[in-house]
Amino acid sequence: MTTEISVLKLTLHGHLVGYLAGAKNGRNILHFAESFQSNIARPTFSLRNIRTSKTIFS
C-alpha cells in the first residue's frame, strides 16, 4: 500500500525551520531541522489555527 505525501519546506527570515509532511489520510508531521533546533539565536516560530471559531456565549 502506498500513501501519497506532500511536503512543504518551512523557512523563516531565510532560515530553514524544517519540513511539514501531509498524507492523504489527514496525518501531518512537522520535522524541525537540526540547524534550527541548535540555534539559540533562532527567530521565534509559532503555529496557530486560522479557522474562525463559533461564539458559544455572547
Please measure the distance between the N-terminal and C-terminal CA atoms of the chain and give it in whole angstroms.
Answer: 49
Residue 21 has pLDDT above 90, yes or no: yes
Residue 55 has pLDDT above 70, yes or no: no
Average pLDDT of the chain is: 85
Residue 53 has pLDDT above 70, yes or no: no
> pLDDT confidence of 44, banded at 50, 70, 90?
confident
Give pLDDT, residue 26.
Answer: 87
